[in-house]
Amino acid sequence: MSNYHIKHLEEYYQVYRKSVRDPENFWEEVAEEHFLWRKKWDKVLSWDFTKPEVKWYEGAQLNITENCIDRHLTTRGEKTAIIFEPNNPDEEAEHITYRQLHERVCEFANVLKDQGVKKGDRVCIYLPMIPELAISLLACARIGAIHSVVFAGFSSTALSTRINDSDCKMVITSDGSYRGGKEIDLKGIVDEALHDCPGVKTVLVAKRINSDIAMKEGRDKWLQPLLDEAYRDCVPEIMDAEDPLFILYTSGSTGKPKGMLHTTAGYMVYTAYTFKNVFQYREKDVYWCTADIGWITGHSYIVYGPLANGATTVLFEGVPSYPDFGRFWEIIEKHKVNQFYTAPTAIRALAKESLDFVEKHDLSSIKVLGTVGEPINEEAWHWYNVNVGKKKSPIVDTWWQTETGGIMISPIPYATPTIPTYATLPLPGVQPALMDENGNEIKGNQVDGRLCIKFPWPAMARTIWGNHQRYKDTYFSAYENKYFTGDGALRDEVGYYRITGRVDDVIIVSGHNLGTAPIEDAINEHPAVAESAIVGFPHDIKGSALYGYVILKVTGESRDQNNLRKEINQIITEQIGPIAKLDKIQFTSGLPKTRSGKIMRRILRKIACNEMENLGDTSTLLNPEVVQEIIENKL
Ligand code: 6R9
């Protein structure tokens, strides 16, 4: 029996039991069999959740790019590693073989070195979904630099905050990007961000849209001429198992974004292992994940997990609606995609359009369908199952987080029977626990509670960059000796998990995690706004949308409310990005508050969701009368 590739349910249970009985032995066997180590570990695991400190494969040495690229060259040199599908369907797709990928990563790595980037330096990557994006991650990893990818839909303010938080000395960007029918001036956004980033010495600019952009003397350099000059081989930097690989920011419920730090060996082993099992990848398969590499899903399941398995991974630059709503299905047919991994929000958007878009394409290559990012509702699940999977392809509803690095709870296709809305069973090595409000673990089945993980897994984030205390407070303080996910879940009579959603102030809009605090901060910057609170409410396509309650300063009360609404959304767009715009903005004279002055978002959420009948006890509020006013003026 191989631990590495599970093929039926009995085997899953066997492997799972083994992984829980002796996790160290289990993860040692996985690591022994499938990777290239420059030096083996002295100790598989040491951990202490009270500090918290977790180390996997201590003493081992490796380079993740040797595992993702070099190791495949003898057997898969001519195999396609990356299929690049451009935004415009008339532009030809590019097939990059493992040998070509090796060359391009080495050249890029040499450019980074020539520009003075060293092991441990932070490099910010702000690129559209073009091959240079995947290649730049790998080039950083080749030389031991820590990449920090910022999603290219984020605003200049969001970008500069992230650059400064981790003190990046370089930014890699492009002259612009294509998104559907639009061209976006990425370099302009970078220029604006860099007004506030004195630490950035170099900006490398890839050419994508051939626009006429300003290049700042001494700081900005075109990438291509540097690549043309660069040597085609680059000896990989030998890294320790726990050396940092990357930082990726995720929103918290309060304060600034958290730079989650992932390290090398554990992340590699776990993403490779979960990719292989969750997608049942076979040698000749073509795999496609539609996420942007700017999110953790893209890091783990477009780049590292697939490449560590020598897979062919599709990298799509565009959007599902361009040139029409059939684009996803056209790409599946064109590249004969076998595993397709997307988000519920995309499924809901496409399900609203005519079925002709799906039906005119041959989707018979599909073997596995996946979803990630938020709970998938039953209707969307059935639409996906019937129209895309033709009822023959299992749907893997994969639950995980930026912090977990890889998929944690998910069916194994063709092994675990699926049920709509259930992420089903923990993957081997994952030990979930449901907790009650008093901090006790709830044992047995048919129960619900707050979802924790009680034993380390290799891909867990090790800290928040520059703020270990916050890491401890956020994830390891709610429940003793357990990692708290921030999600609620139920466990049904057979032990299947269903994720019920966040229990904190993070709202998931179209699969993007948005913290309430930064959005409220942005709204409050409007000169007419005194205070604000935002909550999520159900939305057909986005899953959740944002409802804002805004108190105006006296000076703002006479202003045209629709104009104010537009201006508020404009500020949000500038500070965070268009994904955080509010669907509804209600002006109010007050917000319900506890006596200690905390806004009672629970009440506001219920009102936004039209659940006025069970608002709970409002008598302990500082200002109970305001609740009635808010209900009467609800939008
Ligand atoms: C990978 C990713 C994490 C949060 C997570 C949860 C929600 C993700 C889910 C899901 C229900 C699923 N989430 N997958 N909820 N079912 N299959 O999305 O990471 O952006 O950090 O978001 O997303 O609430 O806590 P991230």
State the distance from the centre of ligand 1 to the C-alpha of 92, rounded, in angstroms. Answer: 34
Cβ of 424 closer than 6 Å to ligand 1, yes or no, is: no
Using a 6 Å cutoff on CB, does residue 399 contact ligand 1? Answer: yes
Confidence of residue 596 (pLDDT cuts 50, 70, 90): low
Q: How many beta carbons lie within 10 A of that of residue 361, not counting itself?
A: 17
Give me the helices (H) in 497-560, please.
516-524
Q: Which two tokens stand for residue 524?
A: 């409050």
pLDDT, residue 578, reads 92
How high is the pLDDT of residue 249?
95
What's the token pair of residue 33?
């069999």
pLDDT value for 188: 97
Please, what's the b/e burial string for 505-532 (b: 16 or more CB within 10 A of its CB; e: otherwise)?
A: bbbbbbbbbbbbbbbbbbbeebebbbbb
Size of the chain in residues: 635
Write out the DSSP string of 116-173. Answer: T--TT-EEEE---SSHHHHHHHHHHHHHTPEEEE--TTS-HHHHHHHHHHTT-SEEEE
Count CB-CB contacts under 10 A for residue 431. 17
pLDDT above 70 covers a percentage of the chain that reads: 98
pLDDT band at 1 (very low <50, low <70, confident <90, very high): very low
Contacts of 78 (CB under 8 A, 6+ apart): 97, 98, 99
Residue-wise pLDDT for 449-502, tens only, equals: 999 999 999 999 999 999 999 999 999 999 999 999 999 999 999 999 999 877
Residue 275 and residue 618: Cα distance in Å, rounded?
A: 48
Structure tokens at 434: 């449901």
CB atoms within 10 A of CB 216: 10
Q: How far is CA 541 from the centre of its chain?
A: 19
Distance CA 36, CA 60 (A): 11
Q: How far is the CA of 111 from the centre of ligand 1 (A)?
A: 36
Strand partners for 547: 535, 584
Identify the band that residue 619 occupies on the pLDDT scale cut at 50, 70 and 90.
low
Chain centre distance of CA 528: 35
d(CA 354, CA 246): 41
Range from 53-62, 250-259, 307-316, 331-340 carrying the lowest mean pLDDT? 250-259
Answer yes or no: is pLDDT of 359 > 60: yes
Q: Taking a C-beta distance cutoff of 8 angstroms, is the pair 97, 88 a contact?
A: no
Phi, then psi, of 347 in degrees rounded to 5: -60, -45
Element (H, E) at 10: helix 9-21
| 536 within 8 A of 504, measured Cβ to Cβ | no
Does residue 231 carry a pLDDT above 60? yes
pTM, to two decimals:
0.90
> What does the pLDDT read at residue 554?
76
ipTM above 0.90, yes or no: yes
451 in ligand 1 pocket by Cβ < 6 Å?
A: no
Alpha-carbon distance 138 to 65, whole Å? 6
Residue reference for tokens 């899903």: 297
Tell the residue nearest (CA) to atom 6 of ligand 1: 374
Atom from ligand 1 closest to the CA of residue 397: 17
Answer whether 296 contacts ligand 1 (Cβ < 6 A): yes
Look up residue 455 and give its two tokens.
Answer: 């034993």
Nearest CA to ligand 1 atom 7: 374
- Check pocket membership of 258 for ligand 1, CB cut-off 6 A: no
In three-state secondary structure terms, 208 is: coil
Lowest-confidence region among 34-38, 130-134, 338-342, 510-514:
510-514
| Range list of β-strands (E), 266-349 | 286-289, 312-316, 339-342
User: Average model confidence (pLDDT) for the chain?
Assistant: 94
Is any atom of ligand 1 closer than 6 Å to the C-beta of 544?
Answer: no
Alpha helices in 464-596 (DSSP H): 468-475, 516-524, 561-575
Helices (H), 195-233: 223-229
- Assigned token pair, 564: 């104010």
Here the tokens at position 400 are 């995980």
Residue 399: pLDDT above 80?
A: yes
586 lines ligand 1 (CB under 6 A): no
Residue 247 pairs in a beta bridge with 148, 261
Please determine, for residue 253, whether its predicted confidence score (pLDDT) is greater than 60: no
Overall average pLDDT of the 19-25 stretch:
98
CA–centroid distance, 256 to ligand 1, in Å, is 19
Compute, in angstroms, the gap from residue 401 CA to the centroid of ligand 1. 5
- Which amino acid belongs to residue 363? L
